[in-house]
Amino acid sequence: MSKPPAREQAQVNIRMPDDLRDRIKAAADANNRSMNAEIVAALEDKFPAPTPVQMTVHDMFQYLQAAPTRAERLARLDEVNRLIADMLPELEPRFEQKRPGHMRLHFGKSPDDK
């Protein structure tokens, strides 16, 4: 997906210390990009876009049921399991916020457990 033209993107004017500007300029030069691109990259790193929950439980069930063979169903099940495992680090703190102790009660761990 391409990004919109610059004139359609949000603009933000900020004040910063001279030494910070110099560090951003040096990083931009080292990475062969504009200061704007360097700032956007730093902000994207600090504030990544939230991972969308790509499938509802119903979608996952339909996806599994639509597999033409048992082998394909098992392959899809592995794929869904990986998707859920990838989402857990992001979702666990949300669950814990809404229902403290819920993760430990049902899964024997809390978001702080490694």
Tens digit of pLDDT for each residue in 71-107?
999 999 999 888 888 877 877 777 777 777 766 655 6
Residue 90 lies in a domain: yes
pLDDT band at 1 (very low <50, low <70, confident <90, very high): very low
pTM for the full model? 0.45
Residue 25 lies in a domain: yes
User: Which residues span the domain enclosing 35?
Assistant: 15-46
- Asked if residue 22 has pLDDT above 70, the reply is yes
Tens-place pLDDT, residues 30-74:
999 999 999 999 998 888 766 556 567 788 888 899 999 999 999
* Of residues 95, 2, 90, the one with CA closest to residue 53: 90
DSSP alpha helices (H): ranges in 1-114?
18-30, 35-46, 57-65, 70-98, 102-107
d(CA 73, CA 69): 6
pLDDT at 9: 84
- Domains held by the chain: number: 2
